[in-house]
């Protein structure tokens, strides 16, 4: 007796595999029906290459007197800023990666603090790291 494949065996066990490029869904039952195991392999390859995202934000409170350069650090990469404004590290991180920005050198005569200095990278670039500098008390 030759064994036969019954589609009914696969009905309760549908595994959804989201496609990274399109919003459609491809199931293992669809692959079985079409005989297309290659489609599942290609989907797995797309999911295995997550996008690389950046970390950045804004700096405020720098004074235009003397050496007012602040140096920020993220995993060994440094960004130096001499005036208020936006910054972004060139390092690219994957979704789910942990990040931590710190002040590696504060401007002379100023104390700086960072809001939202650390966190986990989501689905978009991190743009809400906020650095605030104020004159330090002598």
Compare 121 and 51 and report the one with higher pLDDT. 121
Q: What topology is assigned to 52-135 in CATH?
A: Immunoglobulin-like (2.60.40)
pLDDT surpasses 80 at 21: no
8 or 89, which is more confident: 89
Residue 92, pLDDT above cutoff 90: yes
Checking if the pLDDT of 19 tops 50, the result is no
Using the Cα atoms of residue 72, residue 98, residue 122 and residue 90 in order, give the sign of their dihedral.
Answer: positive
Q: What is the pLDDT of residue 51?
A: 80
pLDDT-based confidence at 66, cuts 50/70/90?
low
Q: Mind listing the pLDDT tens digit for each residue in 43-61?
A: 555 555 678 999 999 999 9
pLDDT: which is higher, 23 or 110:
110
Lowest mean pLDDT among 9-13, 116-120, 132-136: 9-13
Domain ranges of the chain: 14-48, 52-135
For the question of whether the overall pTM of this predicted structure is more than 0.85, the answer is: no
Cα–Cα distance, 51 to 119 (Å, whole number): 17
β-pairing verdict for 77-81 and 52-53: unpaired
Could you tell me which residue, 44 or 100, shows the higher pLDDT?
A: 100
- Could you tell me the CA-to-CA distances from 103 to 26, 38, 74, 113, 129 in Å, in that order? 46, 49, 9, 8, 12
């Amino acid at each position: 007796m030759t064994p036969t494949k019954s589609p009914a065996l696969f009905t309760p066990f549908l595994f959804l595999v989201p496609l990274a490029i399109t919003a459609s869904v491809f199931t293992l039952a669809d692959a079985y029906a079409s005989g297309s195991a290659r489609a599942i392999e290609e989907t797995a390859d797309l999911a295995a290459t997550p996008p690389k995202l950046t970390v950045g934000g804004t700096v405020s409170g720098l004074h235009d007197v003397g050496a007012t350069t602040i140096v920020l650090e993220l995993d060994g990469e440094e960004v130096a800023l001499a005036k208020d404004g936006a910054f972004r590290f060139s390092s690219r991180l994957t979704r789910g990666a942990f990040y931590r920005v710190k002040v590696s050198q504060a401007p002379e005569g100023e104390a700086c603090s960072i809001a939202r200095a650390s966190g986990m990278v989501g689905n978009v670039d991190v743009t809400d790291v906020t650095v605030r500098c104020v004159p330090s008390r002598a």
